[in-house]
Amino acid sequence: MPLYEHVVIARQDISAQQAEALNDQLKHLIEELGGHIAKIEYWGLRNLTYRIKKNRKGHYSLLAIDAPSDAVKEMERQLSINEDVLRTLTIRVETIDLELSPILARRDRERSERGDREDRPDRADRGDREDRPERLDAVETLPEDAVA
């Protein structure tokens, strides 16, 4: 069977759960028609380069598909009817890359470089800030002439 990579951009108004549900619908449709989804990646809500149907952002998803061409045509037909879908792109590829896409790999690399929020100390754990002088009230710092 031919191999495809398929990208879907959904409207910004829908929730992330609805975007994931759209991916599940596509997976179910492809499997009904004799295909197989090798990988689904949800890239999240991302900025669009230009407006599409008055939307500045969109929910991006990447699907790696191993299916007959009739199944892919039916999927594209149903996506063209769906009002939540802004754009789709299907490309036939020679092999399916099961590793993380560059977008998700970069996101994971950035998270590991800056550290997870769980690794950061809370404000309460900072201890005393002995290097700072005590703060004075604003009234004490004003000259006596300024106070009326």
Asked whether the beta carbons of 84 and 14 are under 8 A apart, the reply is yes
pTM of the model: 0.70
Q: Looking at per-residue confidence, does 109 or 46 come out higher?
A: 46
Determine the Cα–Cα distance for residues 12 and 59; give it in Å rounded to an integer. Answer: 6
SS3 88: strand
Q: What is the rounded average pLDDT for all residues in the chain?
A: 83
Q: Looking at per-residue confidence, does 129 or 82 come out higher?
A: 82
Of 105, 108, 63, residue with least CA distance to 88: 63
Q: In this predicted structure, what is the pLDDT of residue 103?
A: 82
Domain 3-106: which CATH number of 3.40.50.300, 3.30.70.60, 3.40.50.2000, 3.90.1200.10 = 3.30.70.60
What percentage of the chain carries pLDDT values higher than 90?
57
Asked whether the beta carbons of 26 and 8 are under 8 A apart, the reply is yes
Beta bridge partners of 65: 4, 37
pLDDT score of 22 more than 90? yes
Domain boundaries, the chain: 3-106
| pLDDT per residue as tens digits for the range 90-139 | 999 998 888 888 888 888 888 888 775 555 555 555 556 666 666 655 55
Of 30, 37, 89, residue with least CA distance to 58: 89
**Eight-state DSSP code of residue 93:** E
Q: How many CA atoms lie within 13 A of 122 on its CB side?
A: 2
What percentage of the chain carries pLDDT values higher than 70?
77
Q: How would residue 144 be classed by pLDDT, with cut points 50, 70 and 90?
A: low
Q: In this predicted structure, what is the pLDDT of residue 99?
A: 82
